[in-house]
Structure 1
Amino acid sequence: MTYIHFIVNPISGNGKHNISASFIQNYFPKDQFKIEIDNTTHKKHAIALTKAAVANKPDYIVACGGDGTINEVASCLIGTTIKLGIIPVGSGNGLASNLNIPRNFERAIEIIRKGTVSSIDVGKINDHYFFSNTGIGIDALIIKKYEHSGKRTLVAYVKAALSSSLEFKTRKTILSLDDKKIEANPFLLFISNSNEMGYNMSLTPKASLNDGWLDLIVVPQLSFIEKMLLGYHVLRNTVENFKKAKHTLIQELTIEVPAAIYLDAQIDGESYNFETNVIKVSIIKSGLMVITE
C-alpha cells in the first residue's frame, strides 16, 4: 500500500481551486493507498506540516499549491527518501511547468498515482533551498512589490516589474567564482535551476533541472531604453539575445555587497531578507526525488 501525505494551500491560485479531502480521496482507492491531508493556514505553515509528516515516513508528500508552497514542502525532503509530488494550483507554477506536470488536477493526480520518479538538482542560497530560481537584483524588488500588492496575477507582476525598473538602484557587488573575483554593479543577478520562472516566462530557457549546473545571469546597470529592451526579451524568452546579459554555468558562487547591511532576495518567487551582506550559492546534485510523468 502506498502512503501519500498531501499538503494543500487552500488560498493558492486566489483560492479558487476545489482540492479538498473528499476530492483527493475520490482518486485514491482505500485498498491501494493510505491518504492523509493537511491544509496550510499561513505562510511557512507548510514547513511545520511537512516536518510532522516526514516523521511518519510516507512514500510521497504532495504539495498542492504554487512555487512558494512547493519550496516549503520540498525543502523539508532534502536528505530523506520521501518523494515529492506536485499538484500545481498557484499563479506562476514555474517548477511544475518545467517538470511537465499539467495544471489539470485530474492529469496531475494520475501522474502521482503512477508514481514515476526522477531526480532533480537543488540550489542552495545560504541556509535556504531553491528549486526553480533565486536572485538579489531587480527581481528581488519585483517580488517584494508583487507580494505587497496582494494580488497574484500577471498584471500585478507586470506592474511590480515596471515600478521596480524605475526604482531599483545598483550597488557595487563582488562575485567570487572559479577562483576569481569579479566586480559588478548588477541590475539583474539571477540564478536558475530550471527553464521557467512562471507565467511561461524564462531568463534561462536552456537550463536543466538535472545537469549538475546552475545558470547565472548578470545584467549591468542599464539606461531606460535598455531596461525596456530587456523587458521585451524577458517576455519573449530571448534574454540570451540581449547583448548585455552575461550567462555563466556555476556550481558555487559567493556574492558580497560591501555597502549593504542586509540583502533582499527572491527564492522561488517568494521574498526573503538576509541579515548579512554575503550570500553563498551552491548546488546539490540530484538532491530531490520528484514524481514526474
Structure 2
Amino acid sequence: MKNNILMVVNPVSGDIDKSELVEATTIFAEKENLNLVIYNTSGVSDIVNIKVLYKTYKPKRIIVAGGDGTIKMVAEAMEKNDVIIGILPAGSANGLAVDLNLPSTIEENLEIAFHNDYMEIDMISINGKKSIHLSDLGLNAEMIKNYEKSTIRGKWGYVLQTVSTLIDLEDPFTATITGDFSTIECLARMIVIANSKKYGTGVSINPNGVMNDGKFELVILKNLDLVVLGKIITGNMPIDSEDIEIISTDNATITTNVPVSFQIDGEYFGKETKLNIEILPKQMKVAIPNPNNEII
C-alpha cells in the first residue's frame, strides 16, 4: 500500500502559474511510489478542508506550493499534528524560503521537501493572529497595502511600491513598548516583529534572528532616511546606530499614539494602535536543506 503525501497549492500566490510545480511534484511522487493528494486553495474553508484531508489520508508530509501566507495557513491547520511541511516557494517574495536558504530549482526543493530532515520553528501570536516570519507596523505595512492594490506583482512590484510609499511618507508615530525589559517610548517609522532574519526580497532586517530559539525580536527603526534605508537594502544594517534598536524577548505590548498600518507575513491587516505579542515555541516542522538543522 502506498504512503500518502498531501500537496497544498495556492493557485494565485505570486501571480505564478503552478502547473509546472504540480507536474514535477506528481512525477517525483510517482518515482517514489507515493500517493500524491493535491488540494488547491480557494480562500474558502481552506483550513477546515486541509484538516479533513489530513484526517483522511494521514500523510507524514505536506508539500506547500505557495508563499508565506499559504505556509502559515497549513501550519495552523496542522496545529498539534506530527507532520513535516516541505516548501516549494511560489509566492510573491517567499520570505521563509529565503531565510531557510532553500535552493532555486524545483528539483532540489523537491528532494528537500520529500526527504530532508526538519527543524521545529517558533511562531508568534500578535493580537491572536499567528506569524511565522516577519510582521511590522509602519512603512513596510503601508507599502504592502499599496502593493495589494497594484497590478504589478513580484519583486518589481515591491520596488515600485516602496518608491511610491517613500514619496508619500507620513509623519513618524510615537510607540510605547513594554515587556520584561525597560519600557521604551520613542518616535518610529517602523517596528518589525521578527521571527527570522530576512524579508523575501533578501533584505536583512534582523541579523541575529533565529527561528527556533523561543524568542522574537522587535526591530525599532526610529529613522528611515535615504542613508539608513540604503544601508539596510545593501546588507549593512546599522545596528549600532541611534536610528535602530533591537530587543529580543518572548512577549511584549506595543501601543501607538495614532492608528498605524500593520501587516503579518506579507498580508495587510489594516491599522492598529495596540499589539499584544508572545512567542509560541516549536509550532511547526519544516524540511530544511541543512542536515544539521542549522540556518546559515
Q: TM-score when scaled to structure 2?
A: 0.87
Q: Secondary structure at the match of 1:3?
A: strand
Rounded to whole Å, the distance in 2 between the matches of 1:30 and 1:199 is 34
2:50 corresponds to which residue?
A: 50
Q: Shift of residue 115 of structure 1?
A: 4.1
Amino acid in the other structure paired with 1:265 = F
Q: 3-state SS of the aligned residue for 2:19?
A: coil
Equivalenced residue count is 285
Tell me whether 1:253 sits opposite 2:252 in the alignment: yes
Cα distance change on mapping 1:283 and 1:167 into 2, 3 Å: same
Q: Show the counterpart of 1:181.
A: 183
Partners of 1:247 and 1:188 lie apart in 2 by: 12
Residue 46 (structure 1) shift:
4.4
Give, in angstroms, the shift of residue 264 of structure 1. Answer: 3.2
Give the CA deviation at 1:2. 3.5
Q: Distance in 2 between matches of 1:23 and 1:131?
A: 27
Pick from 258, 261, 265 the counterpart of residue 264 of structure 1: 261
RMSD: 2.3
Q: Distance in 1 between matches of 2:136 and 2:143?
A: 11
| Distance (whole Å) between structure 1 residues aligned to residue 63 and residue 34 of structure 2 | 13
Is 1:190 aligned to 2:188, yes or no? no
**C-alpha separation between the residues in 2 aligned to 1:288 and 1:191?**
18
Distance 1:81 1:113 in 2: 15
State the one-letter code of the partner of 1:157. Answer: Y
| SS of 1:78 mapped into structure 2 | coil
Is 1:281 the counterpart of 2:283 in the alignment?
no
C-alpha separation in 2, matches of 1:71 and 1:239: 27
Question: Quick one: distance in 1 between partners of 2:208 and 2:3?
Answer: 35
Within the alignment, does 1:64 sit opposite 2:60 as a pair? Answer: no
Identity %: 26
Check whether the contact 1:7–1:46 (CA below 8 A) recurs between aligned residues: no
Give 1:140's aligned residue. 141
Cα displacement (A) at 1:246: 0.7
User: Which ranges of structure 2 fall in alignment gaps of 5 or more residues?
Assistant: 290-296
Contact 2:214 2:250 in 1 (8 A): yes
1:215 and 1:247 in contact (8 A); partners too: yes
Paired residue secondary structure (2:201):
coil
TM-score scaled by length of structure 1: 0.88
Q: CA deviation at 1:61?
A: 1.8
Shift of 1:172: 2.4
Residue identity in the other structure for 2:200: G
Q: 1:251 to 1:174 in 2, by over 3 A?
A: same
Whether contact under 8 Å (1:89, 1:103) holds in the other structure is: no
